Structure 1
Amino acid sequence: MAQAIERLLETTVEQLHTFLKLKVVTEHEAKQVARRRRNLERALLQKEVTAKHYFRYIQYEHNVQLLLKRRMKNLGAKALTRSEKRILKRALFQQTSRVFFLFNRASRKFPMDWTVWKSYFKYCLQTSSFRLASRVLGRALARLPNLEELWLLAISFEFDHRKNMRAARIIAQRSLRQLINSQLLWREYFRIELYYLCRQIFQRQYLGLPIPQKEERDVSHAKDIFSDETNHGQILLRDDDASEDDREEDQLALDEEFNLAYQDSVSEESSSSAPERTSSVSFSFWEGGVVLLVFKHILGRWKTDDSFLASLVELVMETPFSPQVLKNEIRNLVLFHLRTQENCRFALMKGWFHTSNDAFQSDAFIDQLKEIILDIPKKDVLNRCCQLMDSLSLEEDFKASFLKWVDNNVILVDSSEGERRDLQESNDNLSQLVETWQQMKDEQDREDIERSIIGRLEQQIFHQTGVDTNQALFLIQFLNGEMGTLTSMNNLECLEKVRNLYDKLLYYCPMNVSIIRMAIHVEQGQKKQNLQRLRKLFDAWCELEGNTCIDCWLKYISLERRHNENRKVAQLYWKAMKMLQNKAEFIERFSMI
C-alpha cells in the first residue's frame, strides 16, 4: 500500500517544489500538504471506501487550488519574470488537472453513483471545460441510461448552454428510444424544437432577413426523427473532431430536411360520429411543422392526460415569436380532439387572449367561454371561467350577463348519487387495504399492497367532478412515510410523486394558502432543496397574503440568505415594504433575523 501511495504522489513533488521555490507556499505548508495528501490517499485504498472519501479528497484539493490562485494574484503585483509567470500557470494547471484526475478515479470506482457524475459535470462547467463536460455526460449516459434527470441535463447542456441544436436533438431522440414513456423527456423534446424555431425566427427578424417560403418536402425525412438508428451502442454528445464549418453545414442540411409536409393523421377515428378532418395543408419548418409532428405523437400517446397536454398548449401560446400558423393548428387540434378536457381548453384560452397582438375582444372571449360551458357543463368549470374573467379584469357587466346566460341555457351537473356511492365503497375498501398493509410482515406482500394503495389513491384524487383534497393529503402523508416505512419506492420516487400531487392541487386550487404552506414545508424538509421550486411557492404565498402576513416575507428572505443571494434579499425587502400594511413590525422583525 505504501508503494502505491508514493507512486500516486510522486507527480505532485515537482509542483510543490515549484511553489516553494517561487515563495507561493512556505516549507511548513508544503510538508503539511504532502502529509494531508498521503493520509487521504491511504483512506482511498481501504476496503470499505465510499464516495464520501473521494469527495473529501476532492474538496481538499479544490481548497488548495483556491488558496494558490489567491496567492498568485497577490504575487502578480510583484516583479516576476515572464518565465516565472509561465511556470506558475503551468503548476496551477497541474493542480486543476489533479482535481479532474480524482473525479475520474471516483467515477471509475462508483460508475452507478449519480452524485459522483453530477459533481464531476458541475466542476467541468465551473472550470469552463465544456468539451470534457460533454464526454462526462456521454460516459454517465452509458452507465445510467434509465435516469431521466441525466438525459434532461444532457439535453439542456447542449441546447441552452452550448447552443448546439443538432446535438440536443440527437440526445433527445435517443432518450425517447430508451425511455419512451417519460413525459418529462417528451416535454423537453417539444420545448427545444419550439424554442429553436422561435429563436431562428427572432434572429431573421432582427437581421431584417425574410422568412423562407413554404416548400413541399418528402414526409419520409420527417419520419426519420422517430426511427431507430443503426448504432445504438454509441452515445456521443458531439463530434468534437469536426470543424465549425462542417457542423454549420450539417445544421443547415438538417434544417432543410425538417421543411416537412405536415399532414393530419387522424384516419383511425373514421368510425366516430364527428366529421373527419383530413387536412392536406402542408407546413414548413418555419411554420412549425416539426413542432406539430412532435405534438401529434404526444397527443396519440397521452390523449387522456389533461394536465400534461395543457402544459404543452400553454408553452406554445406563451412563447414569444411562435408562428401564428402553429398557434392556429394547435388550437384546431385542441378543439377537435380535446374539447372535453378542461385544462387544455383553459390553457388555450389564457394563451390565446393574453398573447394576442390585437385589442382584447370581450365578445370573442365570452363566446369561447360559452363554448367551454356547453362542452363541459360542470360547476367547477363555471368557477374556473369566473376566475379567468377576474384574472383578465373583465367588467362586471360581462360577468353578470355570462352567468345569466348559463342559468338560462345550461344545466350544470355534479356528482351523481351512483358516483358518490361507488366512491364511498372504494374508500371503505381502501381503508381495509391500509389496515391489511399495516399488519403485513412479509416485505414482498407489503410492497405489492403499497403499490396498490398508491394507484387507487391517485385514481380517486382527481375524478371528473373535481379534486378530493382530503384524499390527496392522505396520499401525501402516506408517501412521506408518516404512516410507516415505504419499501416499494425509494425517497426520490416518493418525493417526485409528492411534488406532482402538490402541483396538481395548486393547479386546481391556486388560491389555497394552506396547500402552498404545506408544499413549502415538504420541500424545506428535504436534504437537497429545489431552490427554484421553493421560490415559485413563496412567490405564490406572498402574492396571496403579502399585504397582511409578515411571516411569508421573513421566511422567503431567510431562504435567500441561506443561499447567499444578497441581491434577492434586498429586492424582497423593498417589495415587502411596498406591499405590507404594518411596516414598523416588519422592520423590527427583519432586524432580528
Structure 2
Amino acid sequence: MAQVVERLLETTVEQLRIFQKLKVITEHEAKQISRKRRSLERNLLQRETTPKHYFRYLQYEHNVQLLLKRRVKKLDRKDVTSIDKTRLRRALFQQDSRVMFLFNRASRKFPMDWTVWKNYLKYCLQTNSSRLASRVLGRALARLPNLEELWLIAISFEFDHRKNMRAARVIAQRALRQLENSQLLWKEYFRIELYYLCRQLFQRQYLGLPIPEREKVENSQSFTELNHRDTVCSQEVSDDHIPLQDSDMEEDNEDNQLLLDEELDLVYRDISQHSSISHDSTKGSDQNQTISISVSFWEGCTVLLILKHILQKWETDDHFLASLVQLVMETPFSPQVLKNEIRSLIFSKLRTYENCRLALVKGWFQSDSNSLSSFQCNELLDQLKEIVRDIPTRDVLNRCCEVMDSLSMKEELKQSFLNWVSKLDRSLIEDSHTLIKTIQSESLDSLITTWQHIKDEKERKNMECFIIDRLEQEVFDSKDANVDNKKALLSIQFLNGEMGTLASLNNLECLERIRKLYDRILHLCPMNVSVIRIAIHVEERQNHDKQSIHRLRKLFDAWCEVEGSVCIDCWLQYITFERKCSGPHRVTQLYWKAMKMLQNKAEFMERFSLLQHQLQG
C-alpha cells in the first residue's frame, strides 16, 4: 500500500516545489499538504472505501486549489518573470487536472452511484469544461441508462447550455426509446422542439426574412420500417459508451448561421419518421396506420406530432396535457397555426377536461396583449360560459373567476358573468353538490369499495382524489394524540396499491405518505407489531437504496426488540435481508444475537440451516 501511495504522490512533488520556490506556499505548508494527501490516499486504498472518502479528498483538493489561485493573484507582478508565470500556470493546471483525476477515479470505483456522477458534472460545469462534461454525461448514461434525471440533465445541457439542437434531439429520442413511459422526458422533448421552432421564427423575424411556405408533408412510414430503423440505430451505438455530439464542429453552430430551408425540411422528415406510432388497439391491417400531420415545419408540425403521440399514451391525464398546452401558449413566437391546431384538438377530444380548457383560455388571451379590448373581453366571457356549460361544477366556477382576475378584467364584466351564473339552470351543479355531500357522509371503507367498482377512468380518478383528501384530513393531518389504527392500516393498504392501482399519485408520493403515516404511529406507539410488519412489507417492495435500507434496519431492530425472544420469523427475515444487502459479517452478528435472545434455540438453528441451504442452492 505504501508503494502505491508514494507512486500516486510523485507527480505532486514538482508542483509543490514550484509553489514553494516562488513563495506561494511555505515549506511547512508544503509538508502539511503532502502529509494530508498521504493520509487521504491511504483511506482510498482501504477495503471498505465509500464515496464519502473520495468526497472528503476532493473537498480538500478543491480548497487547496482555491487557496493557490488566491495567493498567485496577490503576487507582485514586477518580481515575477515570464518564465515563472508559465511555471505557475502549469502548476495551477496540474492542480485542476488532479481534481479531475480524483473524480475519474471515484466514477470508476463507484460507477452505479448517482451522487458521484452528479458532483462530477457539477464541477465540470463550474470550471466551464463543456467537452469533459459531455464525455462524463456519455459515460454516466452508459452506466445508468434507466435514470430519468440523468437523461433530463443531458438534454438540457446540450440544448440550453451548448445550444446544440441536433445533439439534444438525438439524446431525447434515445431517452424515449429507453424510457418510453416517462412523462418528464416527453415533456422535455416537447419543450426543446417548441423552443427550437420559436427561436428559428424569431431569428427570421429579426433579420427581416420571410417565413417560407413549405409543402405539406405527411408521414407514411410503416411500423415495421420504424422498428427496423430503430434496431439499426441501436446496433450502431455500443452498450458501454453513449457518445454525445460535440458542438465545436462548424455544422452545429446554429446561433452563428442561418439554417437552410432544405435542411430544416430534412430535419422535419427525420423527426416524423422517428415519431411515427402505430395504434395499439388494432392489429393486422391496421398495424401500419400512423399519425398524419398536415402542417409544415414552420407551422409547428413537429410539436404537433409529439403532442398527438403523447395524447395516445396519456389521454386521461388532464394535468399533464394542461401543462403542455400552457407551455405552448406562454412561449413567445409560437406559431398561430399551432395554437389553432391545439385548440381544435382540445375541443374535439378533450372538451371535458377543465385544466386543458382553462389553460387554453388563459394562455390564448395572455399571448395577445396585456390589456384586453372590449371584443376580447366578450370573447373570453363566451368561452368561460361554454366551459361552465360543459363542466358544471363549483370548482370550475371558482377557477373561471381566478382566470378573470389574472387577466385583470373589469369588475363590471366579472359581475355580469356572476349574474349569468346565478340565472343559469343550476340543476347539474346542485346535483353534483348534493353528491359531494352524500359522499362526505360515507365512511372510508365504503368509499374505497365504490372506488374499486367504478369503471369510468375520469370518475374513478376524481373519487380517488377525494379519498386521498379524506385521508389527509382524518389520518395524516389529525391533531389528536392518538391515531385510529384501523383507518391508518386501511390508508396504508390503499396507498400501497393493494386495493387497486392509483392514477393521481406516483409511486414516490405514495411511499412518502406511507412513511409519514407509519412513522407517526410508531412514534406514538413503538410496540405496535402489526404496523411494524406492514412497514417492513412496504419498504421491501421498494428499490434497496440507502434510505430504504436504513429504514428497514430500524424496523427490524424494533421488531426484534419486541418479539425477539419468542418469534423466530423476525430473525430469519432480518438475516435474509442482511444477506442480500451487507454480507456474511452482519449475518453472523445477527445469528449470535438471536441465539442470546431466543428461548427455543434448537428450532432456530434448524430453520437457520434450512434457510442457508435454500439460499446456497
Relative distance call for 1:82 and 1:124 in structure 2 (3 A) is: same
Contact in 2 for aligned 1:216/1:259 (Cα 8 Å): no
Cα deviation digits, residues 22-80 of structure 1 (max 9, x gap): 22211111111111110000111111111010001011111111111111111252322
Tell me the equivalent position of 1:38: 38
Contact in 1 for aligned 2:51/2:116 (Cα 8 Å): yes
Does residue 285 of the first structure (1) align with residue 297 of the second (2)?
yes
Distance in structure 2 (CA, Å) of the matches to 1:241 and 1:90 = 27
Segment of structure 1 superposing worse, 300-309 or 253-262: 253-262
Distance in structure 1 (CA, Å) of the matches to 2:72 and 2:415 = 73
Relative distance call for 1:179 and 1:126 in structure 2 (3 A) is: same
- Output the amino acid matched with 1:28: H
Gaps of 5+ in 2: 283-289, 450-466, 476-483, 523-534, 549-617
- Structure ID, larger Rg: 2
Does residue 239 of the first structure (1) align with residue 245 of the second (2)?
yes
Does residue 296 of the first structure (1) align with residue 302 of the second (2)?
no
Contact in 1 for aligned 2:495/2:502 (Cα 8 Å): no
Relative distance call for 1:76 and 1:187 in structure 2 (3 A) is: farther
Relative distance call for 1:250 and 1:37 in structure 2 (3 A) is: farther
Tell me the equivalent position of 1:393: 408
Relative distance call for 1:251 and 1:10 in structure 2 (3 A) is: farther
Contact in 1 for aligned 2:58/2:99 (Cα 8 Å): yes
Tell me the equivalent position of 1:562: none
- Output the amino acid matched with 2:496: R
Tell me the equivalent position of 1:105: 105
Tell me the equivalent position of 2:192: 192
Relative distance call for 1:439 and 1:376 in structure 2 (3 A) is: closer
- Output the amino acid matched with 1:82: S
Does residue 339 of the first structure (1) align with residue 386 of the second (2)?
no
Task: Give the CA deviation at 1:173.
Answer: 0.8
Distance in structure 2 (CA, Å) of the matches to 1:2 and 1:115 = 29
Task: Give the CA deviation at 1:294.
Answer: 0.5
Cα deviation digits, residues 341-376 of structure 1 (max 9, x gap): 000000001001111149431111111011111111
Relative distance call for 1:308 and 1:492 in structure 2 (3 A) is: farther
Does residue 452 of the first structure (1) align with residue 497 of the second (2)?
yes
Number of residue pairs matched?
474
- Output the amino acid matched with 1:345: R
Relative distance call for 1:264 and 1:41 in structure 2 (3 A) is: closer
Relative distance call for 1:436 and 1:255 in structure 2 (3 A) is: farther
Distance in structure 1 (CA, Å) of the matches to 2:140 and 2:153 = 11
Tell me the equivalent position of 2:331: 319
Distance in structure 2 (CA, Å) of the matches to 1:52 and 1:244 = 42
Does residue 151 of the first structure (1) align with residue 151 of the second (2)?
yes
Contact in 2 for aligned 1:20/1:26 (Cα 8 Å): yes
Distance in structure 2 (CA, Å) of the matches to 1:437 and 1:297 = 41
Cα deviation digits, residues 170-198 of structure 1 (max 9, x gap): 11111111111111111111111101111
- Output the amino acid matched with 2:497: S
Contact in 1 for aligned 2:43/2:53 (Cα 8 Å): yes
Tell me the equivalent position of 1:230: 234
Task: Give the CA deviation at 1:244.
Answer: 1.6
Relative distance call for 1:422 and 1:200 in structure 2 (3 A) is: farther
**SS of alignment partner, residue 414 of structure 1:** helix
Relative distance call for 1:404 and 1:210 in structure 2 (3 A) is: same
Relative distance call for 1:169 and 1:410 in structure 2 (3 A) is: farther
Task: Give the CA deviation at 1:280.
Answer: 8.2
1:482 corresponds to which of 504, 507, 520: 520
Contact in 2 for aligned 1:20/1:27 (Cα 8 Å): yes
Tell me the equivalent position of 2:64: 64
**SS of alignment partner, residue 85 of structure 1:** helix
Identity of matched residues, % = 58
Task: Give the CA deviation at 1:84.
Answer: 1.4
Tell me the equivalent position of 1:54: 54
Distance in structure 1 (CA, Å) of the matches to 2:510 and 2:249 = 54
Contact in 1 for aligned 2:111/2:143 (Cα 8 Å): yes
Cα deviation digits, residues 408-449 of structure 1 (max 9, x gap): 4433241537756777444577999x9479789xxxxx9977
Distance in structure 2 (CA, Å) of the matches to 1:78 and 1:193 = 54
Tell me the equivalent position of 1:183: 183
Counting only pairs closer than 5 Å after superposition, residues 58-207 of structure 1 correspond to structure 2 as 58-75=58-75, 77-207=77-207
Tell me the equivalent position of 1:349: 361
Tell me the equivalent position of 1:414: 432
**SS of alignment partner, residue 364 of structure 1:** helix
Tell me the equivalent position of 1:368: 383
Tell me the equivalent position of 1:257: 266
Contact in 1 for aligned 2:217/2:293 (Cα 8 Å): no
1:378 corresponds to which of 387, 390, 393: 393
- Output the amino acid matched with 2:212: P
Relative distance call for 1:179 and 1:456 in structure 2 (3 A) is: closer
Task: Give the CA deviation at 1:479.
Answer: 6.5
Distance in structure 2 (CA, Å) of the matches to 1:119 and 1:78 = 39
Higher RCO structure (Cα 8 Å, ≥6 apart) = 2
Contact in 2 for aligned 1:221/1:257 (Cα 8 Å): no
Task: Give the CA deviation at 1:333.
Answer: 0.7
Distance in structure 2 (CA, Å) of the matches to 1:161 and 1:294 = 23
Distance in structure 2 (CA, Å) of the matches to 1:32 and 1:329 = 69
Distance in structure 1 (CA, Å) of the matches to 2:146 and 2:388 = 43
TM-score (normalizing by structure 2): 0.68
Task: Give the CA deviation at 1:453.
Answer: 6.4
- Output the amino acid matched with 2:403: L
Distance in structure 2 (CA, Å) of the matches to 1:128 and 1:287 = 36
Distance in structure 2 (CA, Å) of the matches to 1:264 and 1:406 = 45
Contact in 1 for aligned 2:65/2:92 (Cα 8 Å): yes
- Output the amino acid matched with 2:327: L
Distance in structure 1 (CA, Å) of the matches to 2:195 and 2:80 = 50
Gaps of 5+ in 1: 271-277, 441-445, 462-470, 496-593
Contact in 2 for aligned 1:138/1:236 (Cα 8 Å): yes
Relative distance call for 1:298 and 1:322 in structure 2 (3 A) is: same
Relative distance call for 1:479 and 1:322 in structure 2 (3 A) is: farther
**SS of alignment partner, residue 234 of structure 2:** coil
**SS of alignment partner, residue 230 of structure 1:** helix
Relative distance call for 1:312 and 1:492 in structure 2 (3 A) is: farther
Task: Give the CA deviation at 1:381.
Answer: 1.1
Distance in structure 1 (CA, Å) of the matches to 2:63 and 2:309 = 50
Contact in 1 for aligned 2:197/2:298 (Cα 8 Å): yes
Contact in 1 for aligned 2:134/2:244 (Cα 8 Å): yes
Tell me the equivalent position of 2:599: none
Relative distance call for 1:89 and 1:450 in structure 2 (3 A) is: same
Segment of structure 1 superposing worse, 305-314 or 261-270: 261-270
Tell me the equivalent position of 1:542: none
Cα deviation digits, residues 72-121 of structure 1 (max 9, x gap): 11125232221111111111111111000000000011111111000000
Contact in 2 for aligned 1:58/1:99 (Cα 8 Å): yes
Task: Give the CA deviation at 1:204.
Answer: 1.4
Tell me the equivalent position of 1:3: 3
Tell me the equivalent position of 2:453: none
Relative distance call for 1:266 and 1:74 in structure 2 (3 A) is: closer
Relative distance call for 1:144 and 1:342 in structure 2 (3 A) is: same
**SS of alignment partner, residue 409 of structure 2:** coil
Contact in 2 for aligned 1:437/1:449 (Cα 8 Å): no
Distance in structure 2 (CA, Å) of the matches to 1:378 and 1:17 = 78
